[in-house]
Amino acid sequence: MLTTIAAAVLATLAPMQGETDTTIAVPAGASLSVNNFGGAIVIHTWTQNRVKVHAEHGSRGSIEASLVGTTLTIKAGSRHGSPSVVDFDITVPVEMALNLSGTYTEIEVNGSKAAITAETVDGSIDVRGGSGNVILNSIQGSVTLADATGRIEVNSINESVELSNVSGQIKAETTNGDVTLWGIKSSSVEATTINGDVEYEGTVTDAGTYTFNSHNGDIQISIPEGANMTLTVATANGDIDASFPLPFRGTREKHRYTFKLGTGSARMEAESFQGDIELRRPAEMREHQREKEKEKEKDKDHEMEQEEP
Amino acid sequence: MNDQWTDRLSEYVDGELANGERVALEAHLATCAPCRGAVAELRQVVARARSLEDRAPQTDLWSGVAKRIGAGQVVDIRSRRFSFNVPQLIAACIALVLLSGGGTWVALHKTSVATDTTFTSQADSTKWVPVAVWSGRTDAAIADLQEALRRNESRLDTSTVRVVRENLALIDRAIAQARTALAADSGNAYLNLHLADTMRRKLELLRRVNAIASAQS
């Protein structure tokens, strides 16, 4: 009890001209919880057992920090009670678990090697790193995750979801946007959207399960040569197309076909009600990706040209 | 009903849980009647589904698809043995949807999933279960969550409310399209599964937005 009380630190940090800077020592294995109504939460990492907080806010804003047990909680306060807009730039130990939340909040994490939970209503989430449970949720913003490993759950409602160089058990979902999975190493992948495309480029592991589902969009999947999988594809109103011969050794029903490749060990389902199902080799997918990036660059250039007087 | 375990019951029934998780879940089952009921229901569905007959496709689109993907040999499906047949898939999916919807129902009405399932009795038949029957409970859970959202909307920003409504409308259109397709082909496994999954998506979206709205108070 005494230890708990002694470990508790509660402070309202004094602002200096709309900015707050402080550094707080934390015990090994500590976790960080940040709640910010509006603005940004940007997390960097280092190897020290200290948390360095830089916050930019209005002159009436304040920052509250409390360390209870092994949880450091940081939140934005306001002297008049109404929520304030704060831009946090926080540097944390690389293995510090993160729990980040906000309403009108952009969330960015760079280089973490710990569990991450991030949730915002109106803002994007961009995470590089993460290990263990990585759970990212936004309602109105896009969600991007790279270089993470563990049990991954990534959700948006009204924007796209993009994962790259991610390994582990993966679940990616949105309602109105694309789901793009690149460089995935996993034996369990679930990617779904209602109104958008689904792309998957990654491993197909023996005994793994892979589910890709869209209502209105196309599904494009990389099938590595030599993959052992039972592949079920289904579409109500779209086409099914493979850039390589698919030996039909499975079952067929109306709208739904099953193929057995190799030993058929992994189970993969690709289903789109309105869209097409495209099965490609990894090299073709990479070429397709390069073309998409070129198109994006062209569009950017075109937009910039139009913006210039 | 424990949400943590609700999502794992299907894996438990399929024998897919790791030993540690299985032991923990069995300890939980010993003290949780609703979860025990749900497990029993799932086992009944699986057992009953195994006894159902396969049904041949009403229309064969295979020749067109085979041409497109360059497949050579076409095998008569009736000579094949399947690990899962069409009614089994539908029954399993309905079970999953109702478990998800049932969880919501429990949360809203403080009752148990064991008394909230219609699919078991329907699965007793080898005939196709009408969509209106198996989706009825989920429709009711959706209606309750929509009503809860209507009450909670004032806690959310107007732009968030607009985005949520647009996305719900998007899902509603998808559900309507799936229902229309099913009306013409009620026994189609893919269409049944797709409708069930789309309804599940609507439930999850409503549940998530309601949770966020509640947290805003």
Tell me the three-class secondary structure of A256-307, residue by residue: EEEEEECCCCEEEEEEECCCCEEEECHHHHHHHHHHHHHHHHHHHHHHHHHH
Which of the listed residues A63, A83, A118 is the one where a domain comes to its end? A118
* Contact (CB, 8 A) for A241 and B72: no
- Give the pLDDT score at B81: 38
- Give the pLDDT score at A100: 98
Give how many domains chain A has, as a whole number. Answer: 2
Contacts of B74 in chain A (CB under 8 A): 248
Subunit contact B194:A274, Cβ cutoff 8 A: no
The full length of chain B comes to: 217
Mean of pLDDT values over B105-109:
40
Residues A57 and A191 in one domain: no
Residues A67 and A176 in one domain: no
In a domain, A152, yes or no: no
* Count of beta carbons in the 10 Å neighbourhood of residue B17: 17
Alpha-carbon gap, residue A146 to A164, rounded angstroms: 5
Q: Is B199 on the interface with A (CB under 8 A)?
A: no
Contacts of A208 in chain B (CB under 8 A): none
- Give the pLDDT score at B15: 72
Q: Is A271 on the interface with B (CB under 8 A)?
A: yes
For residue A62, CA distances in Å to A56, A100, B141 come to: 9, 18, 43
At residue B138 the predicted structure's pLDDT band, cuts being 50, 70 and 90, is confident
At residue B117 the predicted structure's pLDDT band, cuts being 50, 70 and 90, is very low
Alpha-carbon gap, residue A10 to B143, rounded angstroms: 45
Going residue by residue through chain A, which has 309 residues, state the pLDDT in tens, using 9 for 90 and above: 333 333 445 556 655 558 889 999 999 999 999 999 999 999 999 999 999 999 998 877 788 899 999 999 998 876 666 778 899 999 999 999 999 999 999 999 999 999 999 999 999 999 999 999 999 999 999 999 999 999 999 999 999 999 999 999 999 999 999 999 999 999 999 999 999 999 999 999 999 999 999 999 999 999 999 999 999 999 999 999 998 887 765 566 667 888 889 999 999 999 999 999 999 999 998 888 888 888 888 888 888 888 776
Q: List the 170-189 stretch of B: residues with Cβ below 8 A of A.
A: 170-171, 174, 177-178, 181, 185, 188-189
For residue A259, CA distances in Å to A2, A152, A264, B53, B82 come to: 65, 28, 8, 22, 12
- Give the pLDDT score at A10: 53
Subunit contact A239:B68, Cβ cutoff 8 A: yes
Alpha-carbon distance B211 to nearest alpha carbon in chain A (angstroms): 12
Mean of pLDDT values over B28-49:
68
Residue A218 tokens, joined? 């196309």
0.80 surpassed by pTM: no
Which of the listed residues A65, A96, A118 is the one where a domain comes to its end? A118
Convert the pLDDT of each residue in B12-36 to its tens digit: 777 777 766 776 777 677 667 677 7
In a domain, A6, yes or no: yes
Residues A32 and A91 in one domain: yes
In a domain, A207, yes or no: yes
Q: Is B72 on the interface with A (CB under 8 A)?
A: yes
Q: Which of B128, B158, B194 to mutate to test the interface with A (most CBs of A within 10 A)?
A: B194
The backbone torsions φ and ψ at residue A237, rounded to the nearest 5 degrees and listed phi first, read -125, 5
**Which residue range forms the structural domain that includes residue A287?**
161-303
For residue B26, which amino acid is it?
A: E
Does residue B149 carry a pLDDT above 70?
yes
CA torsion angle B4 B8 B9 B11 (round to 10): -170
At residue B48 the predicted structure's pLDDT band, cuts being 50, 70 and 90, is low
Q: Is B18 on the interface with A (CB under 8 A)?
A: no
- The domain limits of chain B are 6-51, 83-215
